[in-house]
Amino acid sequence: MGNNKYKILVIEDEDKIRNFIKMILETNGYQVLTAATCMQGNDMFFSHNPDLIMLDLGLPDQDGSELIKAVRKSAVTPMIVLSARTTEQDKVSALDLGANDYMTKPFGTGELLARIRAALRNSRHSAIMGAVPGGTFAVGDMKIDYDRRMVSIGGRAIKLTQTEYNIVALLSEHAGKVLTYTTILRKVWGASDPGSIKKLQVNMANIRKKLGTRPDEHKYISNELGVGYGMLEDDA
């Protein structure tokens, strides 16, 4: 389960605040990535595909709102803005650009964790990823427990990486339907750079291996060559 933790990217130039948030989040079971500038944050976002971004607006190289715009061009990843700015207009413009929530510094641990849980729960991203409380999915002897982000076959847990899990969960949300490479890439990685189909195929090959199915065997997941993949539906 260790590699199935939610991954949060914290972009904040003040060391004290950044370290405080990192410590709180790690203590509470989140995986944390950090950046101190807009540019670093941008690089981290596109290379690590976090589940949520916490973002300071007053960054040394650029205004944080530039990053909100850049992320929203390609991804629905929830973003919580952290700022010392307190006017309504600042909040409205951050939200209009696509931020999910807004926190004014200073804030306490309880508020921080509550807002993160809410953003993960409410975001379209988490709905797509199947983070619906109490939900399960089954096809044949394969079962997905969305709460625990766990896939099992015949009761035996399958160890998937976070990306592999996200792909399987996404396909299951649309069971019976073929999702195109582009759709899967956009929803799982956030950005659709041309090199990514290969990346998706590599992940799919690993998923098949872990699920114990041969490449030509359409047991849980169908492979529509040149088009995409689909999760089969239980005909029971």
| Rg, the chain, Cα only | 19
- Nearer residue to Ca ion within complex by CB, 21 or 170: 21
Stretch that binds Ca ion, among 58-66, 100-108, 173-181, 221-229 (CB under 5 A): 58-66
Q: Which residues contact 113 (CB under 8 A, 6 or more apart)?
A: 24, 28
* Contact (Cβ atoms closer than 8 angstroms) between residue 52 and residue 77: yes
Site track for Ca ion across 148-187, x = CB under 5 A: ----------------------------------------
The candidate with the shortest Cα–Cα distance to 44, out of 191, 220, 155, is: 191
How many Å apart are CA 128 and CA 85, to the nearest integer?
A: 32
Minimum distance between the CB of residue 102 and Ca ion, rounded to whole angstroms? Answer: 15
Minimum distance between the CB of residue 57 and Ca ion, rounded to whole angstroms? Answer: 7
Site track for Ca ion across 5-44, x = CB under 5 A: --------x-------------------------------
How many Å apart are CA 209 and CA 218, to the nearest integer?
A: 13
Total residues contacting Ca ion by CB under 5 A comes to 3
Residue matched to tokens 């306490």:
108
- Nearer residue to Ca ion within complex by CB, 42 or 123: 42
- 103 in contact with Ca ion (CB under 5 A): no
How many Å apart are CA 19 and CA 5, to the nearest integer?
A: 19
- Nearer residue to Ca ion within complex by CB, 13 or 101: 13
Q: Which two tokens stand for residue 13?
A: 């130039």
User: How far separated are the first and last CA of the chain, in Å rounded?
Assistant: 30
- Nearer residue to Ca ion within complex by CB, 56 or 101: 56
* Contact (Cβ atoms closer than 8 angstroms) between residue 113 and residue 86: no
Minimum distance between the CB of residue 67 and Ca ion, rounded to whole angstroms? Answer: 13
Minimum distance between the CB of residue 95 and Ca ion, rounded to whole angstroms? Answer: 19
Residue among 58, 98, 135, 212 that touches Ca ion (CB under 5 A) = 58
Give the footprint of Ca ion on this chain (CB under 5 A): 13, 56, 58
